[in-house]
Every structure is written in C-alpha cells, then in structure tokens.
Amino acid sequence: MFNAFYSVTLPDTAPSKDETLVHRYPTAVAGLTLCAPPNITTVFGAFKYRLSLDPDRQTMGQRPVLRAGDHERKLKPILGPYEWLTYRQINEIVLELGAGLSKLLKPSEPSRVVIYAPTSQQWTLCMLACYSQGMQVVTAYDTLGDDGLVHAMNETRAQIIFAKADQLPTLQRVSSRIASVHTIVYYSDAYGMPAAAQDALQSIGRAAMAMDMDSVRRLGREWPRDASPALSGSETALVMYTSGSTGAPRGVLVAHGGILAVCGAIEELVPDVIDRAADRVLSYLPLSHVLAFFVETFCLYSGLAIGYGTPRTLSDDNVDGGLGDLRALRPAVMLGVPQVWAAMRANILRQVAQRPAAIQWLFHAAVEAKTWLSAWRLPTGLLDAVVFRRTRAATGGCLKIAITGGAQISAPVQKFIAAAICPMIHGYGLTEASGLVSVQIPGDLSLGNVGAPMPSVEVKLVDVPEAGYFAANQQGEILVRGPSVFQGYLDNEALTRDTVTEDGWLRTGDVGQWVAGGRLAVIDRIRNLIKLATGEFVALEALESAYAASAYVAHMCVIADARMRRPCALVSLAEPLGGGVTADMVFADLLSAGRAAGLPPPHLLAHIRIDPEPWTPENGLLTAANKLRRAAIRRRNESQLLDMFELMERRGERLAE
C-alpha cells in the first residue's frame, strides 16, 4: 500500500489483472472535485465571482511596446513599465467588446471566434468578451502555419478571427482558402502598425470586413447588450487545436465545467506561501496551449495578478536600455516548459564557468548542499543570500514556485533550478484532460515524477504488453477519468471512440508508473517507443529528457529504428560551435549526461550530428508548445542523417538493408 499522502487506491477497482487499482487524491476518495468553490462551473462565472469580491484589484498588467525589435537590423525592443487593469475596468472593456462581437455575428452560423494572436492582455480580453455572450473560443497558435490555420477556421466554421496586426499578412495570404470568416478584428502595439500589416489590411478589406479592437468596442457601446454567458458547465468553452507534431491539428472540445473542475482542484492544492493579494504570475507561454489557459483562468478566479511577457523579452539582455519582463514584474510564480528551464540552467552554468575555479567549486557544492538541506527541511537562507543571490535576482528575486509541464524534465535540471532559483514542481496533463492530470504538491522535493493525481480525476494504468509494461509491475498506459475529460474531437467521432472508452476512460498514450508514496511517474510515450535490432525498446522522449542535462544542448531529436543497435541524435545547440567548444566535446558531454542518468549501454548514443540552425516554432522545427516536429527535423537534416547511417552501417552499429 502506498503512502496515502499523495494518492490512495480504491479497493475492487481492477476488473482484470491487466489493470492497476484506480488511484485518487486522498480528499477525492468520496467524490471527485466537480467545480470551483462556491459552485462555479463557467469561465465567465469565475471572472464575475472575483469581480464581485475585488472590483478594484489590479489583475492584468502589460508593458507597452514603444519600439519593436528588428532581428535583421539588430535592434532590441523598447518596452515601457507595466500598466495595469482592474477587474472593474476589465469588465467594462469585456462587455463592450462582447456586445460588438455579438453584433457582428450571423445567427445562422456557429457562434465561434478564432483567437489567432500571441499571449497578451488583448487575448484574454477577447476570450472573456466571447464568454460574456456565450460564444465559443477557437484557439489557434500564431505559429500554426498556413495549412493548420486554414484547417482550424474551416473545420469550426468560425465567423470572426481576432488577431494581432502582425498576423494580418498571414491572414491575407490564406484569405481565399477560408470559407466562413467574414470579419477580422485586430489590435496593434503602441508603436503602431507594421508596414506589411498596413498593406495586408488593404488587400483583406476586399474580401472581408476588417475592424480594429477599439472600433468593435465602439460598436458595442452603440448596441449595448447585457451579459449572456454560458449557464452550464456542460457547454463547450473551447475548440482548442493541438499543435500537432504530426498530421493536421485536431480540434479538442473542452467544456467550461472541465476547466473549472481543474481550477477547483488547484484551489485544494494551492500552498499557503502564495499571497493572492500581492503575488504576481508571469504569463508568456501560448494561451492557445491548455497549460497556460487553465492557469490564466485560475488567476482570474483567485485574484492572482497576471503580468504578460514574451519569450524574447524575459531577460534584460533582450531589451534595449531597460529591464526584461522577469525583473520588471518580479513574479512569485512562473510557468515554463522543460526547454525554458534547461536554457536557464545552461546560461547560469556558462556564467559560472567563466569564474575562477574556486568560485566554480563553491557554486556546485552549494547546489548539492542546498538540495540536501531542503530534503531535511533545514534552513537554506545563508546559501540563498551568499551563493544564489545573483541567480535569484535575474528572475526578479521574488519567485516562490517554478512550474514545469508540457513534457518530461530531466532530474538534473529540476534539481538545479530548485537550488539556484526556487522550488520547482512538475505537472502532467494534456489538452484532452482540460490541462492537468497530476502535479507535485508544493514542498515535495522528489525528482522523476509528476506527483499526485488531481482531486478532479482518477487514474489507472493498463498493460502495454508489446513494450513490456505490465500492471503487475505498477506500470502501463495512463488512463484518466473525471469531469475534466474532454467532450470529444470536433467532427471526428471515430477518433473520439478510439481515445475514450465506453465507460469514460481517456487513453493518454503515455506510459506511467506508480512510484513511492503513490506518486505518478511518466516514463514513456507509446508512439515514441522504438524497438532496436537487439530487441530492446527505447523511448525517444525519455532519452531526450535524460540528455537534456547537457548544458550545450538546446534541443535534441533522438533517432532510432529496428535496424540500429544503439540510437543516434540530431542536436541543436544552446550556443553555436566555437570559442573552444567542439562537436566532440558536445558528444562527450551528452554521453556523460546519459551515464549520470543511469541509462544502460544500449541507450547511449552511438553518434550525433549538429544542426547549425536553431530549432524554433517560427521555422517549423518545433511546435508552438516547443515540442519537436520530428519529421520536419529529419527532412531538414536528411543529408546529415544519411551520412550518420552510412557510418553506423560501416561500423556494424546499424544493419544494412
């Protein structure tokens, strides 16, 4: 029996030997969390709840862009200080914008609005405006690509698209392929409209009506409407398009109640260290991704202030003559995907490596010492003040919790961030579960797991015999059930039936394991399990997570197939080769990271090839959620792969065809 602090098993819930018993969070044994207290089941209801309690609380802050950055001209952006809106001000804007959008809708078509914009104050204002009038929001990454964007708009038959002016050239380019959108609503930064956007606007105007955000608000003032939000949690809130590392993006139908069940579960787990009246959360991950969306909703519900930033302006180095978003906002909570934390660790280690040998030794010893002291709940204030003062100051100096999600994070990276900056908790979820399945409880310093099942779900593991994972060993595919499970895929009943069982269990496609204390660990992804020529299975994502401990690596794509005896990899570096760093040094460091992670010899890399181009969502090598687009990466590096395969065949490391 596991320690009941993290999860408990429900007796008589394993109908056959190929399943584990069902696990729930201890407080959810008698029943799962269904909503946010007091009985709030919709996103707009969550906003109105906090509005009624704290109308004048400043809750959404954004920095005006006084000058845009220009990579080609090597110009950094100029940003002003954070400017804040209160709940009362937000409500006024939202009701005007919602009334204006409602006036533009045709009643004969679905009431859906596509938000095609980066994370910003305007994104959330448009979302709330839609919900104030009972509309559905369709989320589309601003890096989704032309085909993905057209697919999302045509499949949902959306009428209106809300975009930042920078996206207008893309909309102009695809306008002839979109059937249902008749109105484009746009906004721009303080410095004005980019020239390309001005040109696109004129062209768009011949095919669809284009209005700026302020004009739609004026329309709402001329034709005011009382709020008419969704009344039931069963109503659809989102058609959320997954970024899709393969194939066309899928429209995931997420209910209001699913999102609020997650918010209610978070409410049960929120630590006392968070001061809702004073602390701030940095929002910079894509709001079109479910992780950022449910955190945003929880902040609006709970009163935590949200400060918006961008990945490119987080640090002082990327802003002209001022503070980056982290030091300007000084957040208490920051979300990030593993690549963000790995890059942060690599940057700190590069700076440490430039210091005298004695200072380097002291820093690394302090990381180990703080890890040990924290595990025994002993004070670490002296180390924080003397050794980690600069690393903490670089993130604003106020971080209390770092949250990682979206993919597995390597134990060395999690351990390092927890020591050098602040405690880190690892969460696990997916769009089809409204964002969150399990999360480490604040104060849990263990590594290599994703914590306790949320109070809003129950979890079990089911055999994956072809890969050697069996419930008898507390391993198997993760299945999830509860109010946060999605409503299905838009217009794709067959895929929905394949994904959700008749009795409501969501098949995640991830392989999990129950570990000490009833915690859940994610150990593999079924579709990324590859059988080597030796008959042994390797998990691509698990290997990539282990090798991410190398400070040289920004991203890596492990390659394996049935003809290989050992995997190889394509690597994108955190910094270009040079300055004494060679490809051999990178390879040696990767092997060292693999051995430190306890990888067996067949899982150690045989060879690597380095891609000189950074992998980004903009060049199509990563999804908007910073996940690998494996096929695109392989296509781009086809010649390097062939060279590597030929070398492996000559050495007997890969069987010839």
Identify the three-state secondary structure at position 352. helix
- Does the predicted model carry a pTM greater than 0.75? yes
**Residues sharing a CB contact under 8 Å with residue 87, sequence separation 6 or more, in sequence order:** 47, 50, 51, 54, 55, 56, 57, 59
What pLDDT, on the 0 to 100 scale, is given for residue 70?
Answer: 80
Contact 482, 449 (CB under 8 A): no
Average of pLDDT values for 134-144?
87
Kind of pairing, strands 183-187 and 160-164? parallel
CA distances for 80 relative to 33, 191, 315, angstroms: 42, 11, 15
Within a 10 A sphere around the Cβ of 525, how many other Cβ atoms?
17
User: What's the pLDDT score for residue 1?
Assistant: 35
pLDDT band at 402 (very low <50, low <70, confident <90, very high): very high
CA dihedral 266, 269, 270, 272 (to 10 degrees): 170
Gap between the Cα atoms of 624 and 581, Å rounded: 30
Residue 657 has pLDDT above 70, yes or no: no
Residue 597 and residue 589 in contact, taking contact as beta carbons nearer than 8 Å: no
Q: Is the pLDDT of residue 112 over 90?
A: yes
Q: Options 3.90.380.10, 3.30.450.90, 3.40.50.12780, 1.10.1040.10; which CATH number does 43-308 get?
A: 3.40.50.12780
Residue 309: pLDDT over 60: yes
Domain residue ranges of the chain, discontinuous segments joined by +:
1-31+441-527, 43-308, 532-650
CB neighbour burial string for 163-194, b if at least 16 within 10 angstroms, e if fewer? bbbbbbbbbbeebeebebbbbbbbbbbeeebb
What percent of the chain has pLDDT above 90? 75
Number of alpha helices (DSSP H) and beta strands (DSSP E) in the chain: 20, 30
Between the alpha carbon of residue 472 and those of residues 24, 251, 311, 505, the distances in Å are 19, 35, 43, 20
Please compute the mean of the pLDDT values over residues 288-305 and round it to a whole number. Answer: 96
Q: Would you identify the CATH topology of the domain 532-650?
A: GMP Synthetase; Chain A, domain 3 (3.30.300)
Question: Thinking of the domain 1-31+441-527, which architecture would CATH place it in?
Answer: Roll (2.30)
Provide the token pair at 140: 């589309």
At 603, list the tokens.
């899982």
pLDDT interval class at 146 (50, 70, 90): confident
Residues 493-538 pLDDT 10s: 999 999 999 999 999 999 999 999 999 999 888 888 888 888 888 8
Question: pLDDT tens across 5-23, in order?
Answer: 799 999 989 888 999 999 9
Instruction: Classify residue 44 as left (phi > 0), alpha (psi -120 to 50) or beta.
Output: alpha
End-to-end CA distance of the chain: 50
The pLDDT, as a whole number, for residue 2 is 39
Q: Are 594 and 546 a contacting pair, CB within 8 Å?
A: yes
